[in-house]
């Protein structure tokens, strides 16, 4: 299975894969409560997210675009509002609507603050997102994508941090050496967050 860097020619296709994979994800349901609106807006939202990853981090895909992974590098794991805006997020309030935009801001801030608190200034890779096209689940695409990050992080003696809003993902990532370090619920919103870290091979 060939893994390649995501380029602009494949960005919309990759965004569609992300939108399909995240359609029922708890945080996306919270941001876009209307299924009709979520179906329409999520590909756009994911395209802007990938634009951020491509500009400030890394985004890779399976050659046939059946899997997508995007990360942020050590020293730049939290993007600023200005960086988001540069990648097209200026129109998010209009796409989401004021009420849902406020919810998303509160949730994103809590998640980012938790990330910052748990890592406490320690340099690391941030596994921002990893998905497989729902049509080809359990085909090994996710494993192949994740291996590229694990190999890079181990070679640089860097830990990898991630958070997920689905408990089943904890079991999946545990198979690759990630350990659960925090389980928390976002105040007011009731969204659960599981935070995990994978120590570099040299620390095991």
For residue 161, CA distances in Å to 46, 94, 95, 122, 133 come to 21, 31, 29, 11, 23
Instruction: Decide if domain 3-203 falls under CATH 3.10.450.350.
Output: no
Scanning the structure block, which residue is given the tokens 């400030």?
A: 56
pLDDT tens sequence for the chain (204 residues): 799 999 999 999 999 999 999 999 999 999 999 999 999 999 999 999 999 999 999 999 999 999 999 999 999 999 999 999 999 999 999 999 999 999 999 999 999 999 999 999 999 999 999 999 888 777 789 999 999 999 999 999 999 999 999 999 999 999 999 999 999 999 999 999 999 999 998 765
CB atoms within 10 A of CB 83: 14
Q: How far apart are CA 153 and CA 44, in angstroms?
A: 30
* Contact by Cβ (8 Å): 134, 92: no
Query: What is the three-class DSSP state of 17?
Result: helix
Query: What is the three-class DSSP state of 95?
Result: helix
Q: How far apart are CA 12 and CA 48, in angstroms?
A: 10
Q: What is the pTM of this model?
A: 0.95
Instruction: Looking at the chain, list the stretches that DSSP marks H as alpha helix, in order from N- to C-terminal side.
Output: 8-21, 26-31, 35-56, 81-86, 92-96, 98-119, 141-155, 168-174
């Amino acid at each position: 299975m060939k893994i390649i860097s995501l380029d602009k020619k494949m960005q919309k296709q990759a965004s569609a894969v992300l939108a399909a994979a995240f359609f029922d994800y708890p945080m996306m349901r919270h941001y876009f409560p209307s299924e009709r609106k979520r179906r329409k807006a999520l590909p756009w939202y994911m395209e802007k997210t990938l634009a951020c990853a491509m500009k400030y981090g890394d985004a890779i895909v399976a050659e046939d675009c059946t899997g997508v992974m995007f990360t942020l590098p050590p020293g730049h794991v939290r993007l600023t509002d200005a960086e988001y805006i540069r990648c097209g997020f200026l129109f998010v309030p209009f796409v989401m609507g004021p009420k849902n935009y406020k919810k998303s801001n509160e949730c994103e801030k809590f998640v980012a603050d938790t990330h910052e608190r748990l890592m406490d200034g320690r340099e690391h890779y941030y596994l921002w997102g990893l998905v497989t096209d729902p049509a080809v689940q359990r085909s090994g695409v996710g494993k192949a994508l994740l291996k590229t990050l694990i190999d890079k992080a181990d070679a640089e003696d860097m830990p990898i941090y991630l958070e997920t809003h689905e408990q089943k993902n904890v079991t999946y990532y545990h198979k690759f050496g990630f350990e659960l370090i925090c389980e928390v619920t976002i105040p007011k919103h009731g969204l659960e967050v599981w935070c995990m870290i994978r120590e570099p091979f040299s620390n095991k």
